[in-house]
Amino acid sequence: MTKQKQHQNLSQPRDGGYTIIESLVAMIVVSVLMIAIAPVMAFSVATRVQARRTELATQAAKAYINGLRSQSIKFGGTIKGFPARYTTTNQEDLANAPVPGNNADLYCVDMDGTGSCETISTKDFYVQGAWLNPDPSITNNDPTLKGYQLLVRVYRADSFASGITLNPTPKTAKQSVVGSGLGDRTRPVVEMSTEIPATGNPSYKSILDRLKKTTP
């Protein structure tokens, strides 16, 4: 009888489960792994946010260009944002146009549906335009009848918040979707250039006429 009892005791499994020490070790291992991957996850999210912002800024730039071509944005019109004149003898120097001093005369793209652009918003954009046409017959800062080369810079609305100073040399200080994280408010999110043809002229004819006048 004693031997049978001993045999039964030996055949019974021991109590399962983790000890307190094993649980602590598991928690430490998980914590170390989370600390290791947290920066990668944060960088991934920030890059995704900046890529989305760049996409929306590109749409804002295209809307601005279309507004100029359709003349819904025009010199002296009710919609603010007609590009400012940039005077230079070098046709390729438009990228050096000065950055805006403030947002008073910039084109607003309301992305958060409030009805206006606010400098506390992280979704709204302000669009800066600068035009170049060395034709000396343009005397009233309205190049619509002649056509012009256009530079477009799209800034976050909060780039004009109090205490923010825009980078004065955006030509040499571009943003990077991969390396900029949530972005640098002192630089444009998007910068592009295009041609705005003279009224009634196809763009290639407008460019040809302008090149003829600037060729020595």
Instruction: Tell me which residue of 83, 161, 156 sits closest to 126, measured CA to CA.
Output: 156
Residue 32 corresponds to which amino acid? V
Q: What is the pLDDT of residues 95-149, one digit of tens each?
A: 889 999 999 999 999 998 898 999 999 899 999 999 998 888 888 899 998 899 9
What local confidence, expressed as pLDDT, does residue 109 receive? Answer: 95
Q: What is the pLDDT of residues 153-184, one digit of tens each?
A: 999 999 999 999 998 887 665 554 444 445 68
**Cβ-contact 165, 173 below 8 angstroms:** no
Give the burial string for 152-189 (b: 16+ CB within 10 Å, else e).
Answer: bbbbbbbbbeeeeebbeebeeeebebeebeebbbbbbb
C-alpha 114 chain-centroid distance: 20
Spatial separation of the C-alpha atoms in residues 129 and 98, rounded to whole Å:
10
Give the single-character DSSP code of 180.
-
Spatial separation of the C-alpha atoms in residues 44 and 123, rounded to whole Å:
19
**pTM (predicted TM-score):** 0.73
Q: What is the pLDDT of residues 20-62, one digit of tens each?
A: 887 787 788 878 777 777 676 666 666 777 788 889 999 999 9
